[in-house]
Amino acid sequence: MLDRRGALPLYEQLAAMFRERIDSREWPAGSQLPSERELCELFGVSRITVRHAIGIAEQAGLLDRVHGVGTFVAQPTMEQPLDRLNSFEQTLAQRGLVASTVVHTAELTVSDLALSSILRLDATAPVAHLRLVGRGNDQPIVVYDSYFPPDVGEEMTTAAKRAEQAGLPFSTLDLYRNTERTKPDRLAQTFEAIVADRELGELLGVDEGWPILRVTSVLSQEQRPVEYRTASYRGDRYKFAVDRSLSGLH
């Protein structure tokens, strides 16, 4: 109930009540909120109060307003900690989503100069290409493009197809837990913001020009590069977090 005599403004109390209904899934992700008039009647407040509360909830990423259509509960944003490795399934489960993975491409192709240099292969040497599409509640949220030396690629492709047939959600990082020969011991990553081209947009179900978080990784085993990977995350569905010590400031 709203505390009309409290110090906290009614619109902030109402925004907090919106959050409670969303967190409890009384208002599930993707559902449309009642109209402003209905919200006024439901909570016994003015339309101005409702609009302020919706604005606060929208800024917090809880709601999406679609002009001329209505206000909807936003899809949850996945948060990936950078100080530890979570499985793809764990990351989505923390937001109440069911994860799944589809093997989109598994092929042997020819490397270019940049790729052969990264993987320390001869120029135009064959490389294995594995493209995975990660989904949350059957909606695509990430595309993984991985390139391997042929021997590693054979093992990883077999593991990926086996996991897909078993209905298991996975990224290549998850697959290494069950490989026999390949066990990376080093991971180097860079992060950047890009926009989706037509092909990536089609894979992720977004428009060309959509904001994308691109994570580029090089995995090594005993100083030998075994995988070069780009992971393209929908920018509206993913964020990365890190908790760092500031002991060097003291």
CB contact at 8 A, 203 and 143:
yes
> Helix/strand/coil (H, E, C) string of the chain?
CCCCCCCCCHHHHHHHHHHHHHHCCCCCCCCECCCHHHHHHHHCCCHHHHHHHHHHHHHCCCEEEECCCEEEECCCCEEEECCCCCCHHHHHHCCCCCEEEEEEEEEEEECCHHHHHHCCCCCCCEEEEEEEEEEECCEEEEEEEEEECHHHHHHHHHHHHHHHHCCCCCCHHHHHHHCCCCCCCEEEEEEEEEECCHHHHHHHCCCCCCEEEEEEEEEEECCEEEEEEEEEEECCCEEEECCCCCHHHC
pLDDT tens string, the chain, 250 residues long: the values are 777 777 788 899 999 999 888 878 888 877 889 999 999 999 999 999 999 999 988 887 788 887 778 888 877 665 565 556 667 787 777 767 788 999 999 999 998 889 999 999 998 899 999 999 999 888 898 999 999 999 999 999 999 999 999 999 999 999 998 898 999 999 999 999 999 999 999 999 888 998 899 999 999 999 999 999 999 998 877 666 666 566 655 5
Residue 97's closest CA among 249, 242, 234, 245?
234
Please state whether the predicted TM-score (pTM) of the whole model is above 0.75: no
**Alpha-carbon radius of gyration of the chain:** 23
Residue spans per domain, the chain = 10-73, 78-241
Distance of alpha carbon 223 from alpha carbon 12, whole angstroms: 54
Which CATH topology does 10-73 take?
Arc Repressor Mutant, subunit A (1.10.10)
Which CATH topology does 78-241 take?
Chorismate lyase (3.40.1410)
List 219's β-bridge partners, or say none: 187, 227
Predicted pLDDT at 63: 86
